[in-house]
Amino acid sequence: MSERAGFLKLIEKNEDDIVTRLVYADWLDDHGEHEEADRQRKWEGAKEWLVAFCAANNPPEDVEDPDWWCISYAELVAMAREAVAGATGTDDIWFSCGNNMDMCDALRENCAEFWKNWAIVTGVPLPDNIEARSGFSCAC
C-alpha cells in the first residue's frame, strides 16, 4: 500500500481524525500538493461550520413536529453532492430542504459560505458561478 493510500484509508475510517489529516497535509506539502494540503488543514473548521449551520437551522431536539424535516450534517452534504453531480454545463444546482423553511432560507442567505465549506469537506471542486446557479427550495 502506498503512503497516500494509507493516509486515505485512515481518514476514511475516521474522518474526524485531525492528527492524521494534519500529518497527511504535511506529506502532501512535501510532495508538492500544496492546494490539497491547504484543504486538509481547513477541513476541521469547514466541518464545524456545517455542523453548526445544521444545528442552528433545524428544530430544537425537544420539538417533535412531524411537519418539520430535520436535516443532519451528513444529509446536507449528501444532498448537495447529489445536486452538484446532477448538474452539467450551465444547469442550475438545486435541492429541496423538505419541510424545513429555516434551512432553506439559511442556505439562500449563506450560499457562498455554505458552498465554500462544503467543497472543503467533500474535496469536490465547485462548478463555475455556483452562487448564481444555486437554488434551494422548501416543500412548505
What pLDDT sits at residue 42?
98
Task: Lowest mean pLDDT of 45-59, 88-102, 104-118, name the range.
Answer: 88-102
Q: What's this model's pTM, rounded to 2 decimal places? A: 0.90
CB-count exposure of residue 74 (10 Å: 0-12, 13-18, 19+): exposed
Name the pLDDT band for 89 (thresholds 50, 70, 90): confident
Q: What are phi and psi of 38, to 5 degrees?
A: -65, -40
- Note the pLDDT tens digit of each residue in 35-83: 999 999 999 999 999 999 999 998 776 666 655 678 999 999 999 999 9
